[in-house]
C-alpha cells in the first residue's frame, strides 16, 4: 500500500530577495514498511526533499507539486493538522544530534516531550522511552534520563534521537544523514540500531545519504537525485549489477570499497552543480562522458526500464557498459 507519494515536487527558496530553484522535479513513492534511499552529492536537494515531506522548510519557501501521506495532502494541511501529522505519523532524525537536541534540557525531557505534548501521561511516556533507550543499547536509563546532552557522546546522542523518533510510533521515518557526523566505528553501530529497529517495527523510511553503498545495504529501493532532479530509481538489489544512469554509475565508482578494489577508476569529473545552475537539457550534461546532442537540448523524462525508472536518453544503449562493479572487476581479473 502506498504510504507516501511525492509527485512532481518542486521547491524554490528565497535567496537575497530572489527565488532560487532548489528542486526541479522529484517523483517518488514509498510503500508502508519500505525503505527508500535518497542518494546524491552534497547540495543536490536531498535534505530539502525530505524536509518537504514534513513541511519543515525555510521561511518564504515555495513548494510545487504534491506530497501525499496516506492520501492526505501535506502542503494543504492547516497548522493543526500539520502538528498532528508531525506528532503522530512521521518522525525526523537529523544529522547533527548535538545541535538538534536542546543543550539546556535533560535527555528525559527531550525524549518525552513529544509524547507529553500530544496528551500522554508523563509516567507512561517515561516508561515508553526507557524501554526504547534499552533497545538502542543505552543502559543505566534512569541516570541517562537525568543527564544533559553535553554529558553524552555523539553516538549516544544519535541513538537518543533515534529513540525519540521511534517513541511517537510513527509510520514513516525521515533520516537525514543520521550517521554522517559520527566517527566510522560509531557509524556502523548506530546504523545497525536504526536498521534493526526500523525492520522490527515495519516502519517506512526515507533515508538521505551521499553514500550509495550504505543506502543499498539498508534500503529496499534507491532514488538518485542530481541538481534537484530525480535521475534514477531502482531496486537496491540491482545497484551493483545494473545501474542505468551514468551519474549513478559514477557515484558507485567514486566510493572506495573493501569488496571492490578498482573503486576510483571512474570518479565523476567536474564539480556537483546546484539546481539553479543547470540548463534546459539533461541536468548531468556538463559532467557526463556519454553526452550526445539530444542531451543538450531536451531534458530526458523518467522512463520505466525493467524494475527501474531512469531519466537518460541513452539508457538502453549504455545499459551493459555502465555496470561499473562487474566491468572493472573483469578488467582486473584479465589484467
Partner 1 sequence: MALVRVVLERLAELVLTLLVASVAIYGALYLAPGNPATLLAGGHITPSVLREIERQLHLNEPFFVRYWDWLDGILHGNLGKSFVYRESVTSLLASRVLNSVYLVSYSAVVIIVGGVALGLAAALRRRLGVAITAGTSVGLATPSFVAAIMLITLFAVNLKWFPAYGTGSGFAGQLRHLTLPAVALALSWLAYTAQLTKAAVREELGKDQVETAQSRGIRPRHVVTRHVLRNALIPITTVSGITVAGLVAGDVVVEQAFGINGLGSFLVQATLQKDFASMQAVALILVAAFVVVNGIVDVAGLFLDPRLREPAV
Ligand X SMILES: Nc1ncnc2c1ncn2[C@@H]1O[C@H](COP(=O)(O)OP(=O)(O)O)[C@@H](O)[C@H]1O
Mark residues 118-147: x for contact with partner 1 by CB under 8 A, - for none: x-----------------------------
Comparing every residue's Cβ against ligand X, the nearest one is 47
Among 9, 25, 34, 46, binds ligand X (CB under 6 A): 46
Compute the distance between CA of residue 177 and CA of residue 155 in angstroms, rounded to an integer: 13
User: In the range 68-87, which residues lie near partner 1 by CB under 8 A?
Assistant: 82-87
Comparing every residue's Cβ against Mg ion, the nearest one is 47
Neighbours of 200 (CB within 10 A): 10
Neighbouring residues of 262: CB distance < 8 A, sequence distance ≥ 6: 328, 329, 331, 332
Does residue 22 contact residue 275 with C-beta atoms inside 8 Å? yes
Neighbouring residues of 185: CB distance < 8 A, sequence distance ≥ 6: none
Neighbours of 21 (CB within 10 A): 19
Q: Does 117 bind partner 1 (CB under 8 A)?
A: yes
Q: What are phi and psi of 100, to 5 degrees?
A: -90, -5
Among 5, 31, 70, 113, binds partner 1 (CB under 8 A): 113
Among 37, 40, 246, 281, binds ligand X (CB under 6 A): 40
Q: Does 14 bind partner 1 (CB under 8 A)?
A: no
* Element holding 214 (H helix, E strand): helix 212-218
Compute the distance between CA of residue 138 and CA of residue 160 in angstroms, rounded to an integer: 8
User: Which of the listed partners (Mg ion, ligand X, partner 1, none) does 317 bind, with a CB threshold of 5 to 8 Å by partner kind?
Assistant: none
Q: Does 60 bind ligand X (CB under 6 A)?
A: no
Based on CB atoms, which residue is closest to partner 1, 104 or 335?
Answer: 104
Q: Does 96 bind partner 1 (CB under 8 A)?
A: yes
DSSP string, 113-164: HHHHHTT--HHHHHHHHHHHHHHTT--SHHHHHHS-GGGS-HHHHHHHHHHH
User: Which of the listed partners (ligand X, partner 1, Mg ion, none) does 58 bind, with a CB threshold of 5 to 8 Å by partner kind?
Assistant: ligand X
- DSSP-derived secondary structure letter, 50: H
Based on CB atoms, which residue is closest to partner 1, 107 or 133?
Answer: 107
Residues in the chain: 335
# of chain residues touching ligand X (CB under 6 A): 13
Distance in angstroms between the alpha carbons of the first and the last residue of the chain: 49
Q: Does 58 bind ligand X (CB under 6 A)?
A: yes
Q: Does 161 bind ligand X (CB under 6 A)?
A: no
User: In the range 7-26, which residues lie near ligand X by CB under 6 A?
Assistant: 13, 15, 22
User: Which residues of the chain form contacts with ligand X (CB under 6 A)?
Assistant: 13, 15, 22, 40, 42-48, 58, 274
User: Which residues of the chain form contacts with partner 1 (CB under 8 A)?
Assistant: 54, 56, 82-88, 91-92, 94, 96, 99-105, 113-114, 117-118, 148, 150, 164, 168
Amino acid at each position: 500500500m502506498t504510504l507516501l507519494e511525492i509527485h512532481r515536487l518542486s521547491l524554490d527558496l528565497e535567496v537575497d530577495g530572489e527565488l532560487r530553484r532548489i528542486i526541479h522535479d522529484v517523483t517518488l513513492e514509498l510503500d508502508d514498511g519500505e525503505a527508500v534511499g535518497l542518494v546524491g552529492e552534497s547540495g543536490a536537494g536531498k535534505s530539502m526533499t525530505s524536509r518537504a515531506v514534513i513541511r519543515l522548510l525555510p521561511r518564504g519557501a515555495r513548494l510545487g507539486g504534491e506530497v501525499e501521506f496516506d492520501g492526505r495532502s501535506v502542503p494543504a494541511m492547516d497548522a493543526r493538522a500539520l502538528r498532528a501529522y508531525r506528532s503522530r505519523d512521521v518522525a525526523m532524525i537529523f544529522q547533527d544530534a548535538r545541535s538538534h537536541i536542546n543543550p539546556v534540557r535533560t535527555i528525559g525531557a527531550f525524549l518525552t516531550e513529544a509524547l507529553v505534548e500530544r496528551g500522554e501521561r508523563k509516567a507512561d511516556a517515561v516508561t515508553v522511552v526507557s524501554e526504547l533507550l534499552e533497545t538502542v543499547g543505552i543502559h543505566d536509563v534512569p541516570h541517562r534520563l537525568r543527564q544533559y546532552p553535553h554529558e553524552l557522546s555523539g553516538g549516544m546522542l544519535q541513538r537518543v534521537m533515534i529513540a525519540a523518533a521511534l517513541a511517537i510510533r510513527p509510520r514513516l521515518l525521515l533520516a537525514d544523514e543520521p550517521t554522517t557526523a559520527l566517527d566510522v566505528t560509531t557509524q556502523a553501530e548506530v546504523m545497525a540500531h536504526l536498521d534493526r529497529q526500523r525492520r522490527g517495527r515495519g516502519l517506512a523510511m526515507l533515508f538521505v545519504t551521499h553514500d550509495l553503498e550504505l543506502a543499498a545495504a539498508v534500503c529496499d529501493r534507491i532514488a538518485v537525485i542530481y541538481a534537484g532532479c530525480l535521475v534514477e530509481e531502482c531496486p537496491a538489489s540491482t545497484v551493483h549489477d545494473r545501474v542505468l544512469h551514468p551519474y549513478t554509475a559514477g557515484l558507485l565508482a567514486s566510493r572506495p570499497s573493501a569488496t571492490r578494489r578498482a573503486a576510483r577508476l571512474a570518479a565523476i569529473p567536474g564539480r556537483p552543480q546546484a539546481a539553479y545552475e543547470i540548463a534546459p537539457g539533461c541536468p548531468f550534461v556538463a559532467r557526463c562522458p556519454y553526452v550526445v546532442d539530444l542531451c543538450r537540448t531536451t531534458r530526458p523524462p523518467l522512463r520505466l526500464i525493467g524494475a527501474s525508472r531512469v531519466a537518460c536518453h541513452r539508457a538502453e544503449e549504455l545499459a551493459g557498459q555502465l555496470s561499473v562493479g562487474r566491468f572493472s572487476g573483469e578488467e582486473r581479473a584479465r589484467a
